[in-house]
Structure 1
């Protein structure tokens, strides 16, 4: 959610403060927060005043740092959106799906090697298929997941073997 720094809306303020939009409305009706049209900085100052009191507001919240952090977060979010649109960045599910599709295609092609190479020699075909299947086990998705830091836990791995 992009937050308007000049005139934030009630839902935007609720997201910044981590409260409900209704709570923001109640604070506004009590006069603890400024009405619509106030800047984000004015709202933050009023919120800190209402929450911590005059002395606590100055110590508890560095408004410049908070404003800078918010601007940086918005800039980072926009940069990531732009990179994704330019196809410089892809999501993990998209990349995982692409890798799995390539593995499936390779398994399909490698499964045909024994039949193509051995032609009518059944013993040779069995040896080739065994070697290909052993290689495919080494390249299994479970091993890819384990190398990536996820994958099966000990119980699931034992059941699979």
Structure 2
């Protein structure tokens, strides 16, 4: 359901989706942040997800992401829904696939809106929707030799 916007100029931009991708190369915070720059936006929310060295109390030694061929189309669907439900001026989201090292950037999402509360809410929802609905799976290997698929 689209939100009502009480102030002039706070409707969503005509084409606010500036950058989307599922990539096997390192991600750039600067690229994503630059993509959502907009002079009519008073707030930009940026989320960066990194590979951590543990999960559930167990040390992680390796991590890889793989995706279904429909992942980018599903990401676009969610981005369009976010842009329809919030006064998004610009939106960008990229997710990494392949083998990643501890500390590598796994996902970056940014949303700019007229006000900070809208930017935070839109970015938060897009990150949550991406993690829940885009067919990307995480394969973790732990120091004890066990492995785990997450999201499969």
Q: TM-score, normalised by structure 1?
A: 0.24
- Point out which structure has higher relative CO (alpha carbons under 8 A, 6+ apart): 2
Higher helix share: 1
Higher strand share: 2
Higher Cα radius of gyration: 1
